[in-house]
Amino acid sequence: MGSEVSKQIQKRKAVSVEKQMLFDLNENCGETFPGCDYRPTDRKNWMASLGPKDLHINNIVWPGTHNSATDRIGIPCISRPFAQCQTLSVYQQLVLGTRVLDIRVNENNHVCHGILLTYNIDVVINDVKKFLFETTSEVIILEIRTEYGHRDPPEFEDYLEEKLGMYLIHQDDYVFGKTIAQLLPKRIICVWKPRNSAQPKPGSPFWSAEYLKDNWIDTDLPSTKFDSNLKYLSDQAPVSSRNFFYRVENTVTAQPDNPVVCVRPVTGRIHGYARLFINRCFAEGCANRLQVFSTDFIGGDFVDACVGLTHARVHGEC
């Protein structure tokens, strides 16, 4: 018993030390970077505002959400705090400016996070279609994967093609060098990551797992995650010379052996440091590698930071 108490005290102390490290880094380095003062006047149509003819797919900093469809997961006040990573619906996230969605499904076509379930995938698809109907030039990366511990939904590619076919951008390496204007009216890059079925092939309406990569660091220590994100990003090629999307997730993950296991207070340890991360990317010489930047509980300032850096790239400021 005594050793377990001591272990928990050490864990709490490590979290406290790392939170202070990030706070001090933010105080010393600040949150400035090229485009940091830019605020889109219309987040819902920010790609259209920047100019579809000027926005190359590989040059966009894509604001994304982690576990995007968890706003209604589980039972409120009971299981929901342990799995909810967003409070906004998928449609609300898209209106706010989110352009990368992370959707997990099970064999029954329900969205899930681990063992907890929420609504049918139809809810997500309808939200996406509603947003696309209301806009003209916004492109979305829609990642759908079979959740760990589950089987692929049956005939899922047929389902997606039936629902989204008119919007789907087919798998093709040349897409990365194209502008949004060159892709329109197609507007969805759908990355489908099955667990049991074959990966989508070149020319398919769907993109295979190798086109959206990341290095998932499973930790609840914010400075450890922040530094690891920088390290792994630095290992990537510049966006101009790679034909895949690389994602950095500005999140930390609750650990089962830690006394705090609810998502919001844990991920809150790093949540406010997105602008600091971009600042450090420039300081470390890896800002030209940043492409997909995702978060829990997305807000307008996170979107503005991504759009601001995209604006700076479009105008040759970095």
pLDDT in tens, 268-277: 999 999 999 9
Alpha-carbon gap, residue 169 to 137, rounded angstroms:
13
The yes-or-no verdict on residue 5 having pLDDT over 70 is no
pLDDT in tens, 63-102: 999 999 999 999 999 999 999 999 999 999 999 999 999 9
pLDDT in tens, 191-219: 999 999 999 999 999 999 999 999 999 99
Angle between helices 121-134 and 156-164 (to 10 degrees): 20
Residues contacting 132, CB < 8 A, separation 6+:
138, 140, 167, 187, 188
The yes-or-no verdict on residue 1 having pLDDT over 70 is no
- Taking residue 297's Cβ as centre, other Cβ atoms within 10 Å add up to 18
Mapped onto helix, strand or coil, the DSSP state of residue 189 is strand
* pLDDT given for residue 59 in this prediction: 97
* pLDDT given for residue 204 in this prediction: 96
The yes-or-no verdict on residue 2 having pLDDT over 70 is no
* pLDDT given for residue 24 in this prediction: 98
Percent of the chain's residues with pLDDT above 70: 98
Query: Encoding tokens for residue 192?
Result: 């489908």
CA angle centred on 257, ends 231 and 85, rounded to 5°? 65
Diameter over CA atoms, the chain: 65
Give the domain 1-315 fold: TIM Barrel (3.20.20)
The yes-or-no verdict on residue 284 having pLDDT over 90 is yes
pLDDT in tens, 137-171: 999 999 999 999 999 999 999 999 999 999 999 99
The yes-or-no verdict on residue 259 having pLDDT over 80 is no
Which stretches within the chain are classed as H helix? 2-29, 46-50, 90-96, 121-134, 156-164, 180-183, 222-234, 263-271, 274-284, 300-314
